[in-house]
């Protein structure tokens, strides 16, 4: 089973150009802001709610490990399931995949966190 978050786009005014989308060079020329690409805003995604997404049989598991310059290893495991495509399809990280009903508790916990953040 897989849980997934719904996300909302959040527009954050660009600090580099004061949300104008353009910056003024020393000689007075106005050019598109290199930080926000003329948009005036930076876009981020924030979760709005966690919910059950789909259920399927795992068909492919991939492990990856990255060793950083301090010699510390970060590893991750990803799954592909028959319901969303194996080989080409969605890749689900281990923290979003459940094999039993405890996903409900995790969904509730994550949604409670979002509610707390919004207060």
- Which residue, among 63, 54, 60, has the nearest Cα to 84 in the 3D structure? 54
- Which residue, among 4, 18, 113, 13, has the nearest Cα to 54 in the 3D structure? 4
Q: Does 17 bind Zn ion (CB under 5 A)?
A: yes
Least distance CB 89 / Zn ion (angstroms) = 37
For strand 22-24 and strand 30-32, is the pairing parallel, antiparallel, or unpaired? antiparallel
Count of residues in the chain = 119
Q: Does 3 bind Zn ion (CB under 5 A)?
A: no
Q: Which stretch binds Zn ion (CB under 5 A): 29-37, 57-65, 71-79, 109-117?
A: 29-37
- Which residue, among 76, 83, 106, has the nearest Cα to 4 in the 3D structure? 106
∠ at Cα 91 (86, 94), nearest 5°? 115
Least distance CB 12 / Zn ion (angstroms) = 10
Q: Does 1 bind Zn ion (CB under 5 A)?
A: no
Between 34 and 53, how does the x/- string for binding to Zn ion read (CB under 5 A)? Answer: -xx-----------------
Size of the site for Zn ion (CB under 5 A): 6
Footprint of Zn ion on this chain (CB under 5 A)? 14, 16-17, 33, 35-36
């Amino acid at each position: 089973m897989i849980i997934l978050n719904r996300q909302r786009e959040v527009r954050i005014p660009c600090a580099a150009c004061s949300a104008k989308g353009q910056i003024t060079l020393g000689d007075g020329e106005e050019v598109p802001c290199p930080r926000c690409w003329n948009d005036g805003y930076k876009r981020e995604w924030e979760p709005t709610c966690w919910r059950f997404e789909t259920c399927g049989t795992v068909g492919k598991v991939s492990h990856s490990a990255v060793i950083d310059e301090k010699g510390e290893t970060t590893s991750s495991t990803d799954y592909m399931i028959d319901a969303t495509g194996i080989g080409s399809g969605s890749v689900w990280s281990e923290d979003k995949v459940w094999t039993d009903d405890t996903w409900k508790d995790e969904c509730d916990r994550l949604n409670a966190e979002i509610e707390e953040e919004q207060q």
